[in-house]
Chain A
Amino acid sequence: AGAMVVNADLRRERAAATFQPELLTHILDGGAERTRRRKEIEALVINDPDFQHEDLNFLSRSQRYEQAIRKSSLMVMKLREYGIADPDEIFWFKSFVHRGRPQPLDLHLGMFLPTLLTQATPEQQDRFFMPAWNLEIIGTYAQTEMGHGTHIRGLETTATYDPATQEFILNSPTVTSIKWWPGGLGKTSNHAIVLAQLYTQGQCKGLHAFIVPIRQMGTHEPLPGITVGDIGPKFGYDEMDNGYLKMDNFRIPRENMLMKYAQVEPDGTYVKPLSDKLTYGTMVFIRALIVGDSAHSLSRACTIAIRYSAVRHQSELKPGEPEPQILDYQTQQYKLFPLLATAYAFHFVGAYIKGTYHCISGDISEGDLSELPELHALTAGLKAFTSWTANAGIEECRMACGGHGYSRCSGIPDIYVTFTPSCTYEGENTVMMLQTARFLVKSYTQVSSGQQVTGMVSYLNDLCRQRIQPQHVAARTTTVRINDPASLVDAYKARAARLVEAAAKNLQAEQDHRRSKEDAWNRTSVDLVRASEAHCHYVVVKLFTAKLSEISNAAVRAVLTELCLLYALYGISKNTGDFLQAGILTDAQVTQVNQRVKELLAIIRPNAVALVDSFDFHDVTLGSVLGRYDGNIYENMFEWAKKSPLNKTEVHESFHKHLKPMQAKL
């Protein structure tokens, strides 16, 4: 390979770094060996000519779908050919093939197959699993309906058992009951796991899952009684055929209900499942993935914005001097560095949840569900907290790239549209925050009645002690040390405790006004969401701080400590109201915090490029002209633009069709 000429600004930036980016990469990957393996798989995909294609920005939606299908088919075959079976390695492989974008087989691989494994009986697995594994059956998971999303109990699709024929009759009785949004449903799948209200012996037994064939094997035409199609263009997700599905008296055999837990016997007798908490496990897992994706997507956006800001020169700082790198402007650092710190923070949170999930999932398979409620409550809130923050952060990165950020060649619009739906799917964020709040209020109530609580909410125990010694809160004021992460964790803890207490008290007051419980809950929900946010914020600061002590390399620890401080102090400066009102910080301390944030910006500045290099995104994965590793942006923007579909001909056809006739007439 020819020597890559790296832009001089970036060379200088990299030379000035105080730490070795590779070491930090290893920490992010979870070890040097994992970094090596990740890069090995990356090379396998990126150097494979089968996975090359034209820049997706220039393709129509239909073409992008086609490319995605082509690559997915190859991917499945190659994964087996290479014998890659470890879930993390499959995830890497898939991300490299699809460059972080969704693909039509996501639901087949991520939901259909796992659901068969966890909810099908051995007999059902015999029938469905191998055909699905061999892609004779391509399935999706059809839960959401046009009229119902997060509140799944409200789903309207019905499955009525007919003992005479031993079949279920599936119906979409209203427009709102049409299945809407499932990925891969529109054009790709020939089967779907459909969630429907089960009716047997005249009674509704709630939601259950059914395997429903939707397209004819061989011809791929929709089966009689099935109306299926694509829901049309969206904000992103061009390569995904999110679909609709309408069923009219569509019959499936009794054996197609997933019956590992609940069952319908041939005569229609319904047998209840043992526990309904089991489905929590999958939800927790997927939410953990979203936390990781928040970190990943924000890291990509930060990489692009920070490299671009090191290469872009604009305006003047000192009269008469050359134009400075825009990364030297305080306002630019203030936009980007807190986001960089956030990306690191979320990365460690994601790793923590994943680790905890794996610990707990061992217990779950042994029937011990005791730790599930807290983890479920915690991941709900963290999913919302991290995805909201990352969503806004990606947009800030784009805006920080000025006009060029708006061009699709920057790659940030694509990151944004691919990421933003995660604020809504797998549980709408506000609803998630309220789930966490419910757990927090419950814990608070336990503490109030004299019980101790454990885990991440154990700080609520302190509230009791404070009531005994009221001077404690006042004494806390001067004890916050703004350069000590541990002390900042305490400050966040105090804020969370105060907001949880305030929300719980307001809730109680509303209930005392003789309102119904639900009404009171609704009238307190803004407070409750704030409490959840504060709790999640505390958890993030705590986990980031905890991570620091695990890092052995002094240079890396130093720079991560600076980022951790920035994350914590910036969070305070953006929420000073909470800290002031609770008496956790004084006016003077808030002023110090604001000042310290700006000092940290200057301290982090020399390492900014190395810190994004540590994320170790290959240019192909990054998919950005502005964020190229070599920083040669302008010539490559020009090359990119020449490929635009509008440039296919020198004179556009609309000249002959519209412009010329007009000029002749006027």
Chain B
Amino acid sequence: RVNPDIASERQTASFCVETLTAVLDGGVERTRSRRAVVEAIESDPVFSRENQYFQSQNERYEAAVRKAVHLQKKMREMGWSEDGPEYKYIYRALAGDVAFLLHRIFVRSISMLGSDKQVAKWIPLATQYQLIGSYGQTELGHGTYLQGLETTAVFDVTTQEFILNTPKISAMKWWPGDMGRSATHTVAFAQLYIHGQCYGVHPFIVQIRSLRDHSLCPGVTAGDIGPKMSFEHTDNGYLLLQNVRVPRENMLSKFCEVQPDGTYVRLGSQQINYFTMTAVRISLISDEVIIPLMKACTIAVRYSVVRRQSKLKPGEEEAKILDYQTQQEKLLPQLAAAYAFHFISDYLQELFDKSYTEIQRKNFNTLPELHAFSSGFKALVTQYCTSAVEICLRACGGHGYSLLSGLPSLYTKILASCIYEGENTILLLQTARFLTKCFSAAHAGQPVPPSVMYLAAGKPGTCPARNKLDFLRPDIYTEAYQHTAVRLISSTAAKLQDLIQSGVQEHDAWNQCTVQLAQAAKAHCHYITVKNFAETVEKLETKAGIQKIMKHLCDLFALHGIFSNSGVFLHDGYISGAQMDMVTASYLDLLAIVRKDAVPLVDAFDFTDKSLNSALGSYDGQVYQRLYEWAQKSPTNTQMSPAYERYLKPLLHNSLSKL
């Protein structure tokens, strides 16, 4: 039975939800196939997440391993493959709550970095799970800055082996998933030394646990790094290596090789390595970041039409909290952002595919642009979505803090994405480096990639809008974003130039400009997101009301950005004070418009109740019954706590009251 408060929201949808779902999936056929995978996973009790919120770290880990093992069986039954189109859907259905994710990275790194011989040897073993891999890059003392890694691999010519060591405490591998308890092997990144000379960081396959009884190999100390904010299901691990010897053949040698006599040989370009990183960043945007935001929006919006609180008019029934402007202002921009980032993720995927085709033809020209884009967008999108999920959490009042709402675990998981695969500030600065280079090139009349050609066209001027309706024109607001991005990039580039010309050393000058550089990189990505959203809307089908509602969301996303960063747009007078009032007026008007379709807009994300795993966000809107039922299942209610007998009883003096 659907709660009438949520049923009524669906009756008034201005568009066809099913059609929008298909747009998001990339076609009706994909929607069908996604639903089939999700159904197969969710109907299998082994994959149930029902008790997740009540489990300890040990239980979560065990469940993740059990699911991962069962998944192998399931995939064979269903005819799914690891690199097939289904994998994305499987991952979505499992909500990432499964072990061996780093095993996949292990496999991928061998495929990318290994010689043909190494691939032939290791990949079958790994895909058959004769061994379980991890990926040992990050150390206790070093993360994003790879050159600083301290693990060493010294080549011993006499035995034709590498001797691996973590020479000090900060060198020990720290954080790699699957390493704490599960992995038998790892790809360990270490500084290569031959005849006393350092050749930089290289990958080595190292066995860490016995294949027979899983005990640690000689010289290896490994374990779990302890409780974290989330990822209880993952055994993030530490690894100490003391004179661990691996054969010469265990250095992954697609790009460089150590010959038996110790000669170091480079084979081809390493640029392809960047390509792997970009691939990971682009896929994490869609799988680890946008999906959690969509889920959080679904939960918060549905709850906000069921929750009634206080009165809008005396004598009336209490109002749905989504009818409050302040609640709309919290949630609806996040909903618009979920759509905006979904479309930017499609755009990045396209860019990636094009680049991939070029690279197959040995053309690496597109790599710098792709790398800059994937870095900048990874930073922008993870940061934006993380705070958006937190806004959703806090918009659900007290109940948002219950784990049963599903929101705390979405939040604690998504926020890790701001750190892994490159710390966000550092990534923004990489994008900024690319932008300042392109800016100089564009002004020197040299060719630049199409996406940054706008940098050359920057011209002073003012926004032509004359009334609030003008701010609903994509050309008007896209131009405003473009103008701002150009201004921030050019002024930072100029400042950098000034500092260098005044005699400041280049690296010092760079450090002195980093706050502005990061801001400029964000402005660029924000501009591209708005532009891409507007272009996507134009291409959408006009029937079924899809284009119209997406246009509203695009306007909302764009104007929310101007409203919340008004200073940047006002700064050089491009937008005047009076125009800013028009922006605000249009923005607030849009909230009321999008409000009407809020529930259908989250329904279109098409999450099943099981995948939301939320007492507040279920499709039927029976929030309170579910919260009450789920709470009663808590072990705090079903199991005896010794606290009463041991502490409360003596405390309570055991005297019967006269009350």
Q: Which of A570-598 contact B (CB under 8 A)?
A: 575-583, 587, 590, 594, 598
How distant is A343 from chain B, measured CB to nearest CB, in Å? 20
Quick check: is A501 within 8 A (CB to CB) of the other chain? Answer: no
Which of A147-155, A464-472, A548-556 lines the interface with chain B?
A: A147-155
Quick check: is A209 within 8 A (CB to CB) of the other chain? Answer: no
Quick check: is A178 within 8 A (CB to CB) of the other chain? Answer: yes
How distant is A105 from chain B, measured CB to nearest CB, in Å? 9
- The reply to whether B182 and A659 contact each other, CB–CB distance below 8 Å, is yes
Given A406-B228, A655-B214 in contact, is the A62-B635 Cβ separation under 8 Å? yes
Complex CA distance for A428 and B327, rounded to whole angstroms: 12
Complex CA distance for A641 and B200, rounded to whole angstroms: 29
- The reply to whether B394 and A136 contact each other, CB–CB distance below 8 Å, is no
Which residues of chain B are near A657, meaning CB under 8 Å? 62, 66
- The reply to whether A234 and B644 contact each other, CB–CB distance below 8 Å, is no
Which residues of chain A are near B588, meaning CB under 8 Å? 523, 526
CB contact between A424 and one of B226, B397, B408 (< 8 Å): that residue = B397
Complex CA distance for A519 and B213, rounded to whole angstroms: 70
Which residues of chain B are near A429, meaning CB under 8 Å? 394
How distant is A11 from chain B, measured CB to nearest CB, in Å? 18
- The reply to whether A580 and B577 contact each other, CB–CB distance below 8 Å, is yes
- The reply to whether B403 and A175 contact each other, CB–CB distance below 8 Å, is no
- The reply to whether A314 and B72 contact each other, CB–CB distance below 8 Å, is no
CB contact between B659 and one of A154, A213, A642 (< 8 Å): that residue = A213
- The reply to whether B53 and A403 contact each other, CB–CB distance below 8 Å, is no
Quick check: is A451 within 8 A (CB to CB) of the other chain? Answer: no
Given A66-B642, A69-B643, A643-B226 in contact, is the A146-B624 Cβ separation under 8 Å? yes
- The reply to whether B408 and A234 contact each other, CB–CB distance below 8 Å, is yes
Which residues of chain A are near B646, meaning CB under 8 Å? 66, 70
Q: Smallest CB-CB separation from B657: which chain A residue?
A: A217
CB contact between B636 and one of A62, A236, A519, A634 (< 8 Å): that residue = A62
Quick check: is A140 within 8 A (CB to CB) of the other chain? Answer: no
- The reply to whether B625 and A230 contact each other, CB–CB distance below 8 Å, is no
- The reply to whether B314 and A518 contact each other, CB–CB distance below 8 Å, is yes
Which of A2-10, A276-284, A486-494, A645-653 lines the interface with chain B?
A: A645-653
Which of B136-144, B285-293, B294-302 lines the interface with chain A?
A: B136-144
Q: Smallest CB-CB separation from A315: which chain B residue?
A: B145
How distant is A508 from chain B, measured CB to nearest CB, in Å? 15
- The reply to whether A645 and B57 contact each other, CB–CB distance below 8 Å, is yes
- The reply to whether A402 and B65 contact each other, CB–CB distance below 8 Å, is no
Which residues of chain B are near A663, meaning CB under 8 Å? 129-130, 211
Q: Which of B303-330 contact A (CB under 8 A)?
A: 307-314, 318, 323-327, 329-330
Q: Which of B605-659 contact A (CB under 8 A)?
A: 624-625, 627-628, 630-637, 639, 641-644, 646-657, 659
Which of A36-44, A183-191, A193-201 lines the interface with chain B?
A: A183-191
Given A69-B647, A135-B653, A235-B403 in contact, is the A634-B72 Cβ separation under 8 Å? no
Quick check: is B235 within 8 A (CB to CB) of the other chain? Answer: yes
Which residues of chain B are near A522, meaning CB under 8 Å? 312, 323-325
Quick check: is A318 within 8 A (CB to CB) of the other chain? Answer: yes
Which residues of chain A are near B573, meaning CB under 8 Å? 587
- The reply to whether A581 and B570 contact each other, CB–CB distance below 8 Å, is yes
How distant is B76 from chain A, measured CB to nearest CB, in Å? 9
- The reply to whether B570 and A641 contact each other, CB–CB distance below 8 Å, is no
- The reply to whether B228 and A651 contact each other, CB–CB distance below 8 Å, is no
- The reply to whether A403 and B419 contact each other, CB–CB distance below 8 Å, is yes
Quick check: is B511 within 8 A (CB to CB) of the other chain? Answer: yes
Quick check: is B118 within 8 A (CB to CB) of the other chain? Answer: no
- The reply to whether A73 and B418 contact each other, CB–CB distance below 8 Å, is no
Quick check: is B58 within 8 A (CB to CB) of the other chain? Answer: yes
CB contact between A331 and one of B182, B310, B425, B570 (< 8 Å): that residue = B425
Quick check: is B514 within 8 A (CB to CB) of the other chain? Answer: yes
- The reply to whether B569 and A186 contact each other, CB–CB distance below 8 Å, is no
How distant is A182 from chain B, measured CB to nearest CB, in Å? 11
- The reply to whether B419 and A646 contact each other, CB–CB distance below 8 Å, is no
Specify which of B58, B141, B515, B642 lies most central, judged by the most chain A CB atoms within 10 Å of its CB.
Answer: B515
Complex CA distance for A645 and B129, rounded to whole angstroms: 26
- The reply to whether A314 and B142 contact each other, CB–CB distance below 8 Å, is yes
Quick check: is A161 within 8 A (CB to CB) of the other chain? Answer: no
Which of A88-96, A299-307, A407-415, A603-611 lines the interface with chain B?
A: A407-415
Q: Smallest CB-CB separation from B168: which chain A residue?
A: A634
Q: Which of B170-200 contact A (CB under 8 A)?
A: 170, 172, 174-175, 180-182
Quick check: is B559 within 8 A (CB to CB) of the other chain? Answer: no
- The reply to whether B145 and A232 contact each other, CB–CB distance below 8 Å, is no
Quick check: is A65 within 8 A (CB to CB) of the other chain? Answer: yes
Specify which of A175, A408, A641 lies most central, judged by the most chain B CB atoms within 10 Å of its CB.
Answer: A641
As a 0/1 sequence over residues 457 to 474 of chain B, the CB contacts with chain A under 8 angstroms (1 = contact) are: 000000000000000000
Which residues of chain B are near A519, meaning CB under 8 Å? 312-313
Which of B7-15, B16-24, B560-568 lines the interface with chain A?
A: B560-568
Given A641-B238, A666-B128 in contact, is the A646-B401 Cβ separation under 8 Å? no
Complex CA distance for A519 and B408, rounded to whole angstroms: 33
Interface size on A, residues (CB 8 A): 134
Given A150-B309, A334-B515, A577-B570 in contact, is the A644-B634 Cβ separation under 8 Å? no
Which residues of chain A are near B425, meaning CB under 8 Å? 331, 335
How distant is A461 from chain B, measured CB to nearest CB, in Å? 24
Quick check: is B603 within 8 A (CB to CB) of the other chain? Answer: no
CB contact between A406 and one of B62, B318, B419, B567 (< 8 Å): that residue = B419
Quick check: is B85 within 8 A (CB to CB) of the other chain? Answer: no
- The reply to whether B403 and A234 contact each other, CB–CB distance below 8 Å, is yes
CB contact between A175 and one of B402, B584, B625 (< 8 Å): that residue = B625
How distant is A405 from chain B, measured CB to nearest CB, in Å? 8
Quick check: is A516 within 8 A (CB to CB) of the other chain? Answer: yes
Which residues of chain A are near B132, meaning CB under 8 Å? 659
Complex CA distance for A564 and B215, rounded to whole angstroms: 57
Complex CA distance for A518 and B324, rounded to whole angstroms: 11
Quick check: is B216 within 8 A (CB to CB) of the other chain? Answer: yes
Which residues of chain A are near B584, meaning CB under 8 Å? 527
Quick check: is A169 within 8 A (CB to CB) of the other chain? Answer: no
Which residues of chain A are near B634, meaning CB under 8 Å? 229-233
- The reply to whether A644 and B641 contact each other, CB–CB distance below 8 Å, is no
- The reply to whether B215 and A650 contact each other, CB–CB distance below 8 Å, is yes
Which residues of chain A are near B72, meaning CB under 8 Å? 662, 666
- The reply to whether A220 and B652 contact each other, CB–CB distance below 8 Å, is yes
Quick check: is A144 within 8 A (CB to CB) of the other chain? Answer: yes
Quick check: is B284 within 8 A (CB to CB) of the other chain? Answer: no
- The reply to whether B401 and A424 contact each other, CB–CB distance below 8 Å, is yes
Quick check: is B61 within 8 A (CB to CB) of the other chain? Answer: yes
Q: Which of A619-666 contact B (CB under 8 A)?
A: 634-635, 637-638, 640-647, 650-655, 657-663, 666
Binding site for B on A (CB under 8 A): 57-58, 60-62, 65-66, 69-70, 73, 127-128, 131, 134-138, 144, 146-151, 153-154, 175-176, 178, 180-181, 186-188, 190, 213, 217-218, 220, 229-237, 241, 244, 312-319, 323, 328-331, 334-335, 395, 399, 402-403, 405-409, 413, 420-421, 423-425, 428-430, 434, 516, 518-519, 522-527, 529, 575-583, 587, 590, 594, 598, 634-635, 637-638, 640-647, 650-655, 657-663, 666
Binding site for A on B (CB under 8 A): 53-54, 56-58, 61-62, 65-66, 69, 72, 128-130, 132, 138, 140-145, 148, 169-170, 172, 174-175, 180-182, 211, 213-216, 223-229, 235, 238, 307-314, 318, 323-327, 329-330, 390, 393-394, 397-404, 407-408, 411-412, 415-416, 418-420, 423-426, 429, 505, 507-508, 511-516, 518, 565-573, 577, 580, 584, 588, 624-625, 627-628, 630-637, 639, 641-644, 646-657, 659
30 contacting pairs across A/B (C-beta < 8 A): A61-B635, A62-B636, A70-B643, A131-B659, A149-B397, A150-B309, A217-B655, A232-B54, A233-B634, A234-B401, A235-B393, A235-B411, A235-B412, A244-B631, A312-B141, A314-B145, A314-B148, A318-B507, A331-B515, A395-B390, A406-B419, A407-B225, A420-B401, A576-B571, A581-B566, A647-B223, A652-B235, A659-B182, A661-B69, A663-B130
With A645-B57, A652-B182, A652-B235 given, can you name 10 additional A-B contacts, CB distance below 8 Å?
Answer: A153-B310, A154-B310, A190-B652, A220-B648, A318-B505, A407-B229, A408-B228, A646-B61, A646-B181, A661-B69
